[in-house]
Structure 1
């Protein structure tokens, strides 16, 4: 029985959402410590690899 492609898309979307949440937490930690947040801010804004 073949899997529905929706499940694959859903899993991918969940993974991206988790990665974005981690980057936001990292950015917030940097802000609390007074560190530069530019790099992690860009990573959270652009989670997809550029092709």
Structure 2
């Protein structure tokens, strides 16, 4: 019987770990999307600035 409780505890721990890893993976994707958008916006601002300051 103690073996069964140990297996259930291990299973529960693995379920919790899988949930944490899944949430972390989802969050990493969200942060990568944010970083991509920020980079694109920064490059656009840089081009606009250069167009204004380098114009004759």
Q: Which has the higher contact order (CA 8 A, sep 6+)?
A: 1
Residue-pair matches, total:
35
- Runs (5+) with no aligned partner, structure 2: 1-17
TM-score normalised by length of structure 1 = 0.60
Choose from 25, 28, 33 the match for 2:51. 33
Report what 1:11 is aligned to: 29
Please say which structure displays the higher CA radius of gyration.
Answer: 2
Q: Does 1:22 align with 2:54?
A: no
Gaps of 5+ in 1: 36-51
Please, what is the CA RMSD of the aligned residues? 2.2
Give TM-score scaled by structure 2 length.
0.55
More helix by share: 2
